[in-house]
Amino acid sequence: MPGGSKHSLLVVGSVAFDSIETPNGSVADALGGSATYFSYAASFFLAPRLVAPVGEDFPDEHRRMFANRGIDVAGLVTLPGQTFRWKGRYHQDMNTRDTLEVHLNVLGSFQPDLPESFRDSTHIFLANSGPALQASVLEQIRRPQLVLADTMDLWIETERASLLALLPRIDGLLINDSEA
């Protein structure tokens, strides 16, 4: 890093299998999830630290893909059960989508216990997950410099109070047009 400063990025949230319908085609059970996309993109600039639950159905090839990108997977935890699954349909403008199915599976009961080596992270991305889980992550971080959170219509509708309580603790919230 320039000037010898130490920056680290922690990404906590959803690694998923997405089934997506668009006006141009469909895909079933593609590797997805907010933490997946954010970690992969960030890996072009630094080595993100990934914390997320996956189920016993999560293929080793996906875990290797993360590691091969330099993503620290010490916090990628395999739990009994199935990986989070989301199914949606995007409209012609691709800014509007309908959630058709949500199966939280292992994400629904995940209580992240950050590895000690991750607790000094300076930059935090709270990828899509429940706002109570996101708040519990912040309790484990020593002195974050920047905190961004992602949410979706599910949490806006079902955990609005927890989401509103989280907002003063973060520096930015990522939502799409329909969620806004």
Q: What is the pLDDT of residue 1?
A: 40
Tell me the Ramachandran region of residue 176: left when phi exceeds 0, alpha when psi lies from -120 to 50, beta otherwise.
beta
Question: Using CA atoms, how far apart are residues 60 and 37, in angstroms rounded to an integer?
Answer: 18
User: For 132, left (φ over 0), alpha (ψ -120 to 50), or beta?
Assistant: alpha
Listed by start position, the domains of the chain span: 2-15+34-78+112-174
pLDDT band of 7, cuts 50, 70, 90: confident
Output the pLDDT for position 4: 41
**How many C-beta neighbours within 10 Å does residue 16 have?**
27
How do residues 33-92 score in pLDDT, each as one tens digit?
999 999 999 999 999 999 999 999 999 999 999 999 999 999 999 999 999 999 999 999
The single residue listed with the structure tokens 């309908």 is 98
Burial of 23: CB neighbours in 10 Å, binned 0-12, 13-18, 19+: exposed
List Cα–Cα distances, 41 to 37, 48, 67, in angstroms.
6, 10, 13
pLDDT tens readout for residues 107-132: 999 999 999 999 999 999 999 899 99
Q: Indicate the pTM of the whole model.
A: 0.90
User: Domain 2-15+34-78+112-174 in CATH: superfamily?
Assistant: Ribokinase (3.40.1190.20)
Tokens of 137: 């992550």
Residue 137 has pLDDT above 70, yes or no: yes
